[in-house]
Amino acid sequence: MPDTAFSTLETARLRLRRVRESDVAAFVAYRSQPETAHFQSWEAPFPEAEARAFLAEMADAHPDTPGQWFQFAIASREDDMLVGDVALFTAGDDPGKVELGYTLDARATGKGLAGEAIMAVLAYAFEQRGKHLVEAWTDARHSRSLALLARLGFQRPDSPPRRGFYKGEWCEDIHHTMSAQDWALRQV
């Protein structure tokens, strides 16, 4: 069921909030970084018109809407500036299952901020929204993303990689999962 009351999630250094029209410059800037786009679906530079349309679409969206992605802005608690985004897709056929996506401005990496933002979203998914499974897929060559998911406690189930032809080459995405039970156990 859509969380129409959602406003913010707070962590020690971050505020996860709805995206705003005023985020457009920061959003275009980090999505235009070649290293940030490398393992993602978009090409750098990221068109400003596309960013504006995306932010406008998200303004009317709610987290936990079956069959839809919701993008949470990752903002610094200090100045509320956008440093990245983290997204959840609620499965249409099983609303207890969500997929995770995440992107950080390259200038904000190496500080544990992606992990901090994802932990807040995992707590939201499992504890506030009662999800039973969070899934993530990451390119087999994306060592930073693989390290991040492992550090957060995601499992790598024995499922085959998802193969796809992206940006002119065949790629393999590795399946990662965290169940509600994994989440509860890692709190102990």
Ligand X SMILES: CC(C)(COP(=O)(O)OP(=O)(O)OC[C@H]1O[C@@H](n2cnc3c(N)ncnc32)[C@H](O)[C@@H]1OP(=O)(O)O)[C@@H](O)C(=O)NCCC(=O)NCCS
Please compute Rg for the chain using Cα positions: 16
Q: Which is nearer to ligand X, 90 or 138 (CB)?
A: 138
Among 2, 115, 153, 172, binds ligand X (CB under 6 A): 115
Q: Helix or strand or coil: residue 116?
A: helix
Contacts of 5 (CB under 8 A, 6+ apart): none
Q: Helix or strand or coil: residue 166?
A: strand
Closest CA to 122 of 69, 174, 177: 177
Among 3, 29, 39, 89, binds ligand X (CB under 6 A): 39
Binding mask 54-83 for ligand X (x = CB under 6 A): ------------------------------
Residue whose structure tokens are 């679906």: 41
DSSP 155: B
Q: Is 112 in the site for ligand X (CB under 6 A)?
A: yes
Q: Is 178 in the site for ligand X (CB under 6 A)?
A: no
Q: Is 110 in the site for ligand X (CB under 6 A)?
A: yes
Contact region for ligand X (CB under 6 A) — 58-66, 72-80, 96-104, 121-129? 96-104
Q: How far apart are CA 113 and CA 127, in angstroms?
A: 21
Q: Helix or strand or coil: residue 157?
A: coil
Among 40, 68, 76, 177, binds ligand X (CB under 6 A): 40
Q: Which is nearer to ligand X, 20 or 144 (CB)?
A: 144
Largest CA distance in the chain: 46
Map the footprint of ligand X across residues 122-161, applying CB under 6 A: 138, 142, 144-145, 148, 151
- Structure token pair of residue 108: 């904000």
CA angle, 3 then 99 then 120, to 5°: 60
Q: Which is nearer to ligand X, 5 or 160 (CB)?
A: 160
Q: Which is nearer to ligand X, 107 or 130 (CB)?
A: 107
Residues that bind ligand X (CB under 6 A): 36, 39-40, 102-104, 109-115, 138, 142, 144-145, 148, 151
